[in-house]
């Protein structure tokens, strides 16, 4: 199982003048703290370890280079971490989050019930999900990626977990983590879903599930 390829792309710099109904913010090469209002905003954070917080609105944020913290607030937002080890929280709404290069942490938004899409990209990424967060979809991509499930016991997680796509994998439970191994006992990348409380969270190209 894989998540469908999305056609959404960042807005190019030459088209930014056509953006209406919100602010365009260009960061510097340093460590910026960028806060926007409740409009449909576009933020290019620039190089540096930046912190970006947008308000209510359908926002687009590009973290670009650096270890960035991005919180897009309420709205159907689009966020790109860029190069670096980034943390992205989509907040309320149906968001698309792209970690891109680096070891990123991607959280669609706690308890909002919306359907978010998150793509880790290259690096060892972590996706965060809890019952009530919605019908989210997570794609690990290259690297050793982890799905962190919050608010469930190991018993409940095992009951709700469905491994999909490969019949040769065997589950292994160690401490607060779940992995799968192949017929040779080697760790394997796996796809699947977690079904709980009327929600279905789907994931692909994940190496480990942990309890948060």
pLDDT for res 10: 52
- Summarised one tens digit per residue, pLDDT across range 147-164 is 999 999 999 999 999 999
- The mean per-residue pLDDT over the stretch 68-86 comes to 98
- Summarised one tens digit per residue, pLDDT across range 120-129 is 999 999 999 9
pLDDT for res 112: 80
CATH 2.150.10 is the classification of domain 20-211:
yes
pLDDT above 70 coverage of the chain, percent: 90
pLDDT for res 6: 41
Q: How far apart are CA 188 and CA 99, in angstroms?
A: 22
Task: Reply yes or no on whether the pLDDT at 15 is more than 60.
Answer: no
Nearest alpha carbon to residue 69 among 41, 35, 111, 40: 35
Residues 6+ apart with CB under 8 A from 39: 21, 22, 23, 55, 57
Task: Reply yes or no on whether the pLDDT at 146 is more than 50.
Answer: yes
Domain ranges of the chain: 20-211
Average pLDDT, the chain: 91
pLDDT for res 83: 97
Global pTM value: 0.89
């Amino acid at each position: 199982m894989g998540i469908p390829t999305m056609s959404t792309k960042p807005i190019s710099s030459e088209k930014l003048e056509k953006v209406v109904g919100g602010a365009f913010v260009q960061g510097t090469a340093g460590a910026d703290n960028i806060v926007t209002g409740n409009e449909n905003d576009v933020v290019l954070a620039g190089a540096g370890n930046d912190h970006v917080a947008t308000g209510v609105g359908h926002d687009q944020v590009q973290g670009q280079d650096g270890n960035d913290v991005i919180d897009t607030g309420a709205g159907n937002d689009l966020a790109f971490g860029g190069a670096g080890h980034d943390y992205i929280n989509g907040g309320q709404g149906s968001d698309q989050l792209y970690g891109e290069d680096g070891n990123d942490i991607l959280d669609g938004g706690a308890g909002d019930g919306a359907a978010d899409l998150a793509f880790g990209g290259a690096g060892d990424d972590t996706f965060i999900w809890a019952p009530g967060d919605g019908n989210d979809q997570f794609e690990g991509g290259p690297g050793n990626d982890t799905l962190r499930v919050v608010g469930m016991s190991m018993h409940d997680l095992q009951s709700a977990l469905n491994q999909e796509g490969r019949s040769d994998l065997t589950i292994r439970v160690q401490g607060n983590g779940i992995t799968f191994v192949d017929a040779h006992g080697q760790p394997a990348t796996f796809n699947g879903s977690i079904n709980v409380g009327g929600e279905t969270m789907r994931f692909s190209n994940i190496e480990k599930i942990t309890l948060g």
